Chain A
Amino acid sequence: MSDTPQTVADERIKSMSRLRTALIRPELGGIVGTVAVFTFFLLFAFDSGMFNAQGVMNWSVVSAQFMIIAVGACLLMIAGEFDLSVGSMIGFAGMMIAIFGVTLDWPMWMAIALTFVICILFGALNGYIVVRTGLPSFIVTLATLFILRGFTIFIPQTIERKTIIGGIREAAEGDWLAPLFGGKILTGVFQWLGNAGIIDVFERGSRKGQPVVDGIPMLIIWALLLVFVAHVLLTRTRFGNWIFASGGDADAARNSGVPVNKVKILMFMFTAFCATVFATCQVMEFGSAGADRGLLKEFEAIIAVVIGGALLTGGYGSVIGAALGALIFGVVQQGLFFAGVESSLFRVFLGVILLFAVILNTYIRRIITGER
């Protein structure tokens, strides 16, 4: 027995075909979906204006919105938890900025900073309750969903006797922090493109001579930045390994010395951060905060993540995949509008694609873990 038989791996494990190897990449579903969606709309809606400068900006902004919340939901799901309070958090954060910045007339940077602190604390509380009680995060954050939504309606009604607070854009004028969320960059480049006739300019009206797309909104920059940072964090750092381990098997991770509770709480805080970024960009764009903002966003984030190949059970997934999931969302939602299809069909599409994605993911999981 002392002499080891030279174990040959091939004897036990059938060699994997190239297709199967490709299949277990979590981004695969997202890549295939993205190609399919673009092919479809290029064929059927090319002339609708969906692919001119304005159209591209239109679905890019919507996709970027999905992306921002999907990134948070993605890391959290890989760490093995859900956050159903994302949508309420978006409404709550927007309302807090309005109350601090407009009703109380504090400087906008202070309103934004304080809102971030409050929301991230709520995220930490979500995480703390989940790891301390061992309850499913589904239930804990469902409670937070209602609590935050309730406050988002109660607070402005009590103070202002209304549920929509406007005047945020005016209050943010001249502020140094607000443009980081509501501003646009590369405006000069777009003006030049407009002057050069590469993109359309307005023919008449008060903005005559200005390009139809006058810059890249910070929202898109935030989305790309978050995707990049989260992707590097997940795949290239020690902490990323801990995220996978915490979601893959919390007990095994603890046995190996991974601070699972800390990882999970931090991921809840990151999700709250993403929701607040979303909310801040949104109120800066709309100039108002409404108590019904962010409805159902938590589910849209989760669906984007699942389309992106993450497993609902945790421990497996990809930020790039989630970003592609968000892109699919944005393109389809706006594309149906451009193609003149009844927009309610978007929900049908969502349901169908979610079902497909989950079935595909379950199949992939079997391949990875060798279950039959």
Chain B
Amino acid sequence: MCARPIVQMKNIEKHFGSVIALAGVSIDVNAGECHCLLGDNGAGKSTFIKTMSGVHKPTAGEIIFEGQPMDFTDPRDAIAAGIATVHQHLAMIPLMSVSRNFFMGNEPIKTLGFLRFFDHDYANRVTTEEMRQMGINLRGPDQAVGTLSGGERQTVAIARAVHFGAKVLILDEPTSALGVRQTSNVLATIDKVRKQGVAVVFITHNVRHALAVGDRFTVLNRGKTLGTAERGEITPEELQDLMAGGQELAELEGSLGGTV
């Protein structure tokens, strides 16, 4: 496993008016590792990944990507740099075919004279191939995404991000709405992607899912990192305790209207 961090987030702070959503979060992610970011609701997970993917600008702190300090002004910058985010929803269009979804925004072009056409043959071939590698046998590349299960949709989204050159893949609770079988498929996909050398940031609040694929675990609580543990250094019970430890406080803060 390569130990060079591809992304370092140093003391990231993010304030929304008087609300401090992130009060100094630091993690680093290596190429080819799956770094799990755990935390209960309101811990600041969403805000943190939005900062990482260029949606929010950090109030303070540094983002270092491949050794260079980065200053993302919008998500397009982050995508161009190679940081792709797969959202739980808002990733696929159910009415469109798998191959149309796969190449959405990156359509392959075939020129015929001065006319430029969507290269369906290429798109279908690549989509079928990529899906087979991910363990999904499509009825056909023109199958609508709507007919895929939730886990398969996540897999398509992940495969798409990797195909288009993502070096860092942020997965926002990819397993939270899935059943057991589907979850195991998504976790298997994460494992495959990691082996291809992609850095995976896996956001979840399910300790078992995190332990299944994670190399390192960072727990977020009330906008702060409680620490990072290596695989094998920590038991599920300890992780669970770390996450739940701030439960009462988080609830209290929630009732005061102060959470993110």
Binding site for B on A (CB under 8 A): 1-10, 12-13, 15-16, 24, 236-238, 240-242, 244-245, 248-249, 251-253, 255-258, 311, 315-316, 365, 368-371
Contacts and interface: CB of A to CB of B under 8 A. Distances in A.
Interface of B: 75-76, 79, 85, 87, 90-96, 100, 103-107, 109, 116-118, 120, 134-139, 144, 146-149, 152, 184-185, 187-189, 191-192, 212-213
B93 A257 contact: no
Given A1-B191, A249-B90, A252-B93, 11 more contacts: A2-B188, A4-B135, A241-B104, A241-B107, A241-B118, A251-B90, A252-B90, A256-B105, A311-B95, A315-B95, A316-B95
Nearest to A369: B146
Contacts of B87: 255
Contacts of A370: 94, 146-148
Contacts of A371: 146
Contact of B139 (A3, A16, A249): A16
Which 6 residue pairs across A and B have the least CB separation, nearest first?
A369-B146, A248-B93, A257-B105, A256-B105, A238-B107, A4-B188
B188 A257 contact: no
Contacts of A248: 93-96
Interface centre among A7, A10, A236, A245 (most CB of B within 10 A): A7
Contact of B146 (A7, A256, A368): A368
Given A238-B109, A258-B104, A9 B93 contact: no
Contacts of A311: 95
A249 B38 CA distance: 29
Contacts of A238: 107, 109, 116, 118
Contacts of B213: 1
SS class, residues of chain A in contact with chain B: loop
A1 B93 contact: no
A142 B136 CA distance: 46
A241 B120 CA distance: 11
A318 to B, nearest CB: 12
A17 to B, nearest CB: 12
B135 to A, nearest CB: 4
B104 A5 contact: no
A311 to B, nearest CB: 8
Contacts of B135: 4-7
A313 to B, nearest CB: 9
A293 B120 CA distance: 42
Interface centre among B96, B137, B184 (most CB of A within 10 A): B96
Contact of B105 (A3, A253, A369): A253
Contacts of B76: 257
A248 B148 CA distance: 16
A368 B93 CA distance: 11
26 contacts: A1-B187, A2-B191, A4-B185, A5-B184, A7-B136, A7-B152, A9-B138, A12-B152, A13-B147, A13-B148, A15-B139, A24-B144, A237-B117, A249-B93, A252-B91, A252-B92, A252-B93, A253-B93, A253-B105, A257-B105, A258-B104, A368-B94, A368-B146, A368-B147, A369-B144, A371-B146
A5 B149 CA distance: 16
Contacts of B96: 241, 244-245, 248, 315
B250 to A, nearest CB: 29
Contacts of B139: 9, 13, 15-16
B185 A7 contact: yes
